[in-house]
Amino acid sequence: MGRKPIRRVPFRRRRKGLTNYRVRRALIVSRKPILVVRKTNTQIIAQIVKPEVKGDVVLAQATGRELRVKFGWPASGKNTPAAYLVGYLVGLRALKAGIKEAILYIGLHRPVKGSRVFAALKGALDAGLKVPHSPEILPSDDRIRGLHIVEYARSLREEDADRFSRQFSEYLRSGFNPEDLEKAFEETKRRIESAVELRAPTAETSGGEESLK
């Protein structure tokens, strides 16, 4: 009588598409802090974590929501410029906490060249954090500053004003012109630099200490 094949059930976090255990094991063996970048429907979240037996310890954190609430970012908390600023903020906070290097972990996200995950990495690198990477995967400076969004908004407004109003309705309701995105990016970046320079991050300013891993 034949035997049924044994079915191996993946770990819960692997089934949910949250954790790549093979990569995570290699990161833990390295004994270095880990830069974790996550995307949600509303924001980008970046953390510097240290794996411990009882669970990951969050050493620094930044979120897209925090950009809007604390630093006056008027645009989406999940676009490419926001991802860069989140990475920049978590990188500065990591350096403030004495962390000089980390290893990037993107979970089960596909490593797409120029994606928002790598925009966050670019922000952390520009903050001064050392993270192994290939320069080719990083988005261009124009995309980091949101020029692709500015050009699209300008073109759409000239060609189809109604569609422009619908597509950027959230921005317009708040009184923000998407064509001013590059200026808003530079202003928000300066606010981040000033804020981190004045005070060290705390659990309150970093938005909590629950690990995303």
- Indicate whether 59 belongs to any domain: yes
Q: CA torsion sign, 167 to 171 to 174 to 179?
A: negative
- Residue 213 inside a domain? The answer is no
Domain membership flag for residue 83: yes
Please say if the pLDDT value at position 27 is more than 70: no
Q: What is the pLDDT of residue 207?
A: 42
Spatial CB neighbours of 19, under 8 Å, sequence gap ≥ 6: 11, 13, 107, 108, 213
The larger pLDDT score, comparing residue 97 to residue 51, is at 97
Dihedral angle sign, alpha carbons of residues 33, 114, 187, 72: negative
Residue 205 lies in a domain: no
Mean pLDDT of 7-22: 51
Whether residue 148 is contained in a domain is answered as yes
- Count of domains for the chain: 1
Domain holding 155, by residue range, is 12-198
Residue 40 lies in a domain: yes
Q: From residue 167, give the alpha-carbon distance in Å to each of 116, 149, 160.
A: 20, 12, 11
209 is a domain residue:
no
Q: How far apart are CA 118 and CA 138, in angstroms?
A: 6
pTM confidence score: 0.80
Average pLDDT over residues 44-67: 89
| Domain of residue 109, CATH code | 3.30.420.100
Residue 204 lies in a domain: no
Of all residues in the chain, what percent carry a pLDDT higher than 70? 77
List pLDDT tens digits, range 127-177. Answer: 999 999 999 999 999 999 999 999 999 999 999 999 999 999 989 998 999
Average pLDDT, the chain: 84
